[in-house]
Structure 1
Amino acid sequence: MQASPAFVLFGGVHLLTLALIVVSALVLPLAVCRYAPAALRPVALALAALLLAQEAVDVALQLWRSGPSVQLLPLHLCTLAVFVTVWMLATGNQRAFELAYFWALAGTTQALATPDLRQGFPDPAFVFFFAGHGLVIVGVAYGALALGLRPYPMSMLRVGLTTLALAAVVFGVNLWLGTNFLYLMAKPAGASLLDWFGPWPWYWLGLVAVAMVSFLVLYAPYFIADWRAGRRHGRPRLPPGGTPPTGL
């Protein structure tokens, strides 16, 4: 049996895969809005179903290869982002979009850029890794560009507190099961952003700092758009409390 090719960070296949994800994330929602607006909801449901299907097949494949394992628990942030994105696409829920938006664009993009992956294309591990992570990015882009969902100022606080609470729970699970979900117990084996932040547990501080900066950067386009809209109309787009007009 021929061995799978090794994954090459920022090699040709990696860069081509990233480009395909970016193009899909932009073209799909814009094309549906322009050419098939009546299909907005069906396409959202189809994306949700596709995300669930790839996750189920990936888990089944891992079970077939290695058998049952605590490593299959859905406690990595990118796996949780899959289910939150499915929730958002299926329901249009604002809270789900907030989580998916910040988790995907601050976390899943990091996983795509520096994946904890040894196998290259066409190994199933490569295919399912990039399919799952890439579909999350496509789903979030669809929520923003096609479904009209967006974050608000309080979204950053809500997502930040939710993420910290999740990390506290997962840390306890890691201690109990000897796992490394959320990479709270050790850095990924391959090169990653965490390599810049020192040894365990000090790299946690770097993670928190990067998350805070990422949230601000990701909200900046909406802040600028709201500010420009307020100047054009002579009034703020959001009420003083910074919450959505619908009470979300």
Structure 2
Amino acid sequence: MNVLTMMQDNITTEAPGFRSFTLQHAIVAGIAVGLILASCAIGRRLRTGKREPRFRLVWGWSIVISQVYVLIWWIFINKPFEPDKSLPLHLCDVAVWVAAYAMITQKRWSRTLLYFWGVGLSTQGFISPTLQEGPATAEYYLFWIGHLQIVGSAVYDIVAGGYRPKFPDFLTASVLTLCYAAFIMPINIYFGYNYGYIGNRLPESNTILNALPPWPMRVLVMWMIVEVVFVVLWLFWPAVGAIAEGKASDAPADQQS
């Protein structure tokens, strides 16, 4: 073994990974929040000049282009190919394409799924990431970029796009989420994978899943938690509207005129 090979092995072995709830985690999350807020501010400003649709289209197609590269990287470039993690079968792998489709087409069902998946589920990628690799790896950047595209698109569609969920949207999100689980569960069981984190395995890093019952009861509890989150996301906006109406009705007559 020559000196160069030994140095490369040492670099690979000693390269720091990612750990949740550290300064690095806080910095990355802070940068993501800043980028999302800046994008929303730009979108709202462009909306007054009727240039927002063009900005949204560029956003959506940039997701498509970047995610095509992500697919190529995971399947063809990254070695060795690991079928239990390299296939685009995680919910966030699907959600990022939903984000692109929603930004480009503005179809109601895609905006609905983006809202419930992006705000309700993919935000966990920032709160308790399952990421193990550090900044010296491509996986590190692909993870954060993908989650930023999902959550950023969801927040943008609320702030700049004006999306507000209705009860039928809650039902749509619940049914489509159940369809995803029904599709991925047999794959997980047959091959021993953990896509969607509903397989008979836990993530390598500590997450909320570690506090849940063992599989398969864990899947049922996860579904109940998801439904509670979806209900909160649906009821949030009617509650905000009711509070706003209450304040308006309580305002003095001279302020209302």
TM-score (norm 1): 0.85
Answer yes or no: is 1:32 the counterpart of 2:43: yes
Counterpart code for 2:237: Y
Letter paired with 1:65? N
The one of 34, 56, 65 aligned to 1:23 = 34
For 1:69 and 1:118, the matched residues in 2 are separated by 15
Unaligned residue ranges in structure 1 (runs of 5+): 235-248
Q: Which has the larger radius of gyration?
A: 2
Q: Which residue of structure 1 aligns with residue 86 of structure 2?
A: 72
- 1:221 corresponds to which residue? 236
**Does residue 1:53 correspond to 2:65, yes or no?**
yes
Structure 1 moving runs of 4+ over 6 Å:
none
TM-superposed CA distance for 1:173, in Å, is 2.1
After TM superposition, give the deviation of residue 75 of structure 1 in Å. Answer: 1.8
The two structures, once aligned, show a CA RMSD in angstroms of 2.2
In structure 2, do the counterparts of structure 1 residues 202 and 53 end up closer, same or farther at CA, with 3 Å as the change threshold?
same
2:123 counterpart SS class: helix
Instruction: Return closer, same or farther for 1:230/1:94 CA change in 2, 3 Å cut-off.
Output: farther
1:6 matched to 2:17? The reply is yes
- Report which stretch shifted further, 219-228 or 160-169: 219-228
Q: Secondary structure at the match of 1:121?
A: coil
- CA contact under 8 A between 1:13 and 1:121: conserved in structure 2? no
TM-score, with structure 2 as normaliser: 0.82
Q: For the residues of structure 1 that align with 2:80 and 2:65, how far apart are their CA atoms?
A: 20
Deviates more, 1:201-210 or 1:169-178: 169-178
Shift of residue 26, structure 1, vs aligned partner: 2.1
Alpha-carbon distance between aligned partners in 2 of 1:224 and 1:205, rounded to the nearest angstrom? 28
Residue pair 1:51, 1:136 contacting (<8 A) in 2 also: no
Count of residues in Structure 1 that have an aligned counterpart in Structure 2? 234
Equivalent-residue separation in structure 1 for 2:128 and 2:244 (angstroms):
37
Ranked by relative contact order (alpha carbons within 8 Å, sequence separation 6 or more), the top structure is 1
Q: Percent same amino acid at aligned positions?
A: 24
Q: Give the direction of change, closer, same or farther, for the CA distance of 1:122–1:53 in structure 2 (3 Å limit).
A: farther
Q: CA deviation at 1:202?
A: 1.6
